[in-house]
Every structure is written in structure tokens, then in C-alpha cells.
Amino acid sequence: MSSSEFYETARALENYLRFCKEIGIEELPAGFAAGGTEIADTERNGTVLLSDRRKSRDSSAVKTLSEIREELGDCTRCRLCETRKSIVFGEGNPKARLVFVGEGPGRDEDIQGRPFVGRAGQLLTKIIRAMKLERKDVYICNVVKCRPPGNRNPQPDEVASCEPFLMKQIESINPEVIVSLGSVATGLMLKLKNFKMGQLRGTFHQYGDSKLMITYHPAALLRNPSLKKPVWEDMKLVMKELGIPVSG
């Protein structure tokens, strides 16, 4: 290793450790490699195990993500179409073992047409990396595909218009684990109206064939950093479920 490669690796390690500290991880994950690339490839974390799982269902009846996107079209099913710049469908591995579901696009997502790219999204990306995965290994989407004006919560009729598309995305991907980020996604996935996130997180729920982990939305972590620790506890359970080595 040349001295510049050594310093680059040391800097990457320093950044990673800083982030671990920031989100409240006090021990290094087992199998930790600088840059987190040791098991962060789609072959090991994504497609291999999944293909066994997918073999057992009749996939001819299930639409592909491209077909679902085509069906969504230039959607005018609810009033959010009047103010949106982009439809933010979702992105990532169509065979992901892990799907993250957020609430709806914010300003940055509306401009870029991609989910979770603003401040909350950057924190989600760090969380995914701390799980020894990359964004391309997982699938990231939202309950509603268009930005609610002023980032207000999506209204029940807006959620209802978009719900069939989220359900089809999940059916198409058939993930082992879904992580529901925040109360809008959680209310929809569990069909609950009045609940406390703190009472639902920290344990798996069942969602069809997938395990569902409820956790706080990254935007809530930005407002209240003390939530980083419980989120990391939830993500460690997800890692264990996916067979990703974790310690601490």
C-alpha cells in the first residue's frame, strides 16, 4: 500500500468512526473493514439468498418495478400532482432483501426526482453504510410519490391514492425485511391510527411474507439526536435478521 493509499484509508476509517460515535455506536461491528466494503456487495447481501426465496412464488403474476412505474404514468390521481416537480418513484435494487419506506419526497427529492437525498436522506445513507450496505443494495421509496406542499404530512386521501403503488413495489421486490421510517409509513403498513412509535419499534412485526421493523424517521433524528441510539438498536436487529455480522 502506498503512503497516499494508507492516508486515504486512515481518513475513511476516521470518518466512519466519527459517524459511529455520532449515531451512538460504541463498539465496532464484527468483520469491520475500512470503507465498509467487506460484505457490502450485492451478490452476498442481495441477490443470492433472495433468488431462493423468489423461486418459491409464482412470479408470473407479479409486475416488475418498470411495469409499476409505467402504470403510475404522469399521475394525476390526487392533488399533489398540482404542485410537484417530479414523481419520486423509488430507487435501488429490484431484488433487495431490505426495503426502506419513508413518508414522501421533500424539496430536494422533488427537485432531483430521487428519494432521500436531502439532509434526512444523507443521514439515512450513513445509517445504511453503518449497516455495511450501500444504497444500491437496498430499495428506498416513500408512501406518497409526490411532495406534499411545504412538507406537510400527506392527507389520508393522498396516501390512499398512492398506497396501491407502494404495495405493488413491495410485492415485486419481495424483501425479507422492510423498515418503516416514521409514523406515516408505520400507520399505513400496520393500518393503525393512534399509536406511539416507541411502543412499536424494537421488535419485528409481520407484513405479508416480510418482517417489518418500525423505527424513527431520519428527520426526527436530526431534530432529536437522542433517537439515534434506538434507531441503531433497531438496525442491528435488521442486520442480524439478514445475517450481517454485528457486535455490541
Residues that bind ligand URA (CB under 6 A): 102-106, 109, 115-116, 118, 120-121, 142, 219
**Least distance to ligand URA from the beta carbon of 120, Å?**
5
Handedness of CA 105, 111, 112, 116 (dihedral sign): negative
In this structure, the dihedral spanned by the alpha carbons of residues 117, 123, 126 and 128, taken in order and rounded to 10 degrees, is: -80
Query: Closest residue to ligand URA, Cβ-based?
Result: 102
**Least distance to ligand URA from the beta carbon of 111, Å?**
12
Cβ distance to ligand URA smaller for residue 118 or 187:
118
Beta bridge partners of 98: 177
- Strands lying side by side in the sheet with 204-207: 91-92, 139-142, 98-102, 177-181, 210-215, 204-207
Q: How far apart are CA 173 and CA 167, in angstroms?
A: 10
**Least distance to ligand URA from the beta carbon of 38, Å?**
28
Q: How far apart are CA 27 and CA 21, in angstroms?
A: 9
Give burial (CB, 10 Å; 0-12/13-18/19+) of 76.
Answer: exposed
Please list, in sequence order, all residues whose beta carbon lies within 8 angstroms of the beta carbon of residue 50, skipping any fewer than 6 positions away. 95, 96, 97, 174, 176
**Least distance to ligand URA from the beta carbon of 180, Å?**
11
**Least distance to ligand URA from the beta carbon of 2, Å?**
39
